[in-house]
Amino acid sequence: MAPTALVLLLALAFPAFAMAQVNGSRTPALRGSNFTADLELFVASNDPCWIHQGCSSAGYSNEGSMGPGWYCSDGMYVDANTAFDSCAVHRSCRGVGYEGGKWVCSDGNHGGVIPGITDSCYIHQGCSAAGYSGDNKASLGNGWYCLDGQYVDANSKFDNCAIHKQCSCGVEYKLVAWVCEC
């Protein structure tokens, strides 16, 4: 089974299975755990997130009280007894926002979230041609960008991407996302 298909199978099958098992389950590993959140962390390769409830802005810290991860910017100390918000912040995210009941990456980058398979992607909406920037000088780091020269940052609106690593034949927008042409 292809890695992408396996990830899709895990994402669709396990949350439903876990939710069916939680109520009345005799399996201690599923009772009282947030299996869906744990699976989301595995599947999407998200960063650790320790943002307490009631937070209004957050940032990444390598030295937080719970280890590296995303924390509220208010400086409040957090530990295992803190009530945390839900999070789904992919690695290499440049900024977060609170949307739909959880903290998410606000750069709109849907590429690069499957480690080892897809590249980071910062192609703004309305782009007609894109290329890869690997010189460590682009505004959001190495990844795919529109070739029109328009500046992008974490507040830009990005297209969806599913461009595999080592794509050397160019990319195109198909239906709902940018993909490798070969």
Q: What is the SS3 string spanning 55-116? A: CCCEEEECCCCCCCEEEECCCCCCCCCCCECEEECECCCCCEEEECCEEEECCCCCCCCCCC
What is the C-alpha separation between 134 and 151, in angstroms, rounded?
A: 16
For the cut 80, the answer to whether the pLDDT of residue 124 exceeds it is yes
The residue among 84 and 153 whose pLDDT is bigger is 84
> What is the structure's pLDDT at 50?
93
**Per-residue model confidence (pLDDT) at position 116:** 59
Q: Say whether pLDDT at 143 is over 50.
A: yes
Counting residues of the chain whose pLDDT is more than 90, the rounded percentage is 34
Q: Residue 115's pLDDT band (boundaries 50, 70, 90)?
A: low
Check pLDDT > 80 for residue 47. Answer: yes
Q: Give, for 49, the enclosing helix (H) or strand (E).
A: strand 49-50
Cα 143 from Cα 41, distance rounded (Å) = 22
**Does pTM surpass 0.85?**
no
Q: What is the mean pLDDT of residues 1-11?
A: 41
> Residue 122: pLDDT above 70?
yes
Grade residue 114 by pLDDT with cuts at 50, 70 and 90: low
Nearest by Cα to 171 from 136, 133, 140, 115: 133
For residue 45, what pLDDT is reported? 62
CB 69 within 8 A of CB 87: no
pLDDT at 7 over 90: no
* Domain range list for the chain: 1-42, 45-106, 115-182
Per-residue pLDDT at 172 exceeds 90 = yes
Q: Please tell me what DSSP assigns to residue 26.
A: S
Mean pLDDT computed over 48-54: 93
Query: In this structure, which long-range contacts are made by residues 78-83, counting pairs with CB atoms below 8 Å and at least 24 apart in sequence?
Result: 78/50, 78/52, 82/50, 82/52, 83/52, 83/53
Of the candidates 102, 110, 120, 90, the residue with the CA atom closest to the CA atom of residue 34: 102
- Determine contact, residues 47/69, Cβ cutoff 8 Å: yes
Per-residue confidence (pLDDT) for residue 146, from 0 to 100 = 95
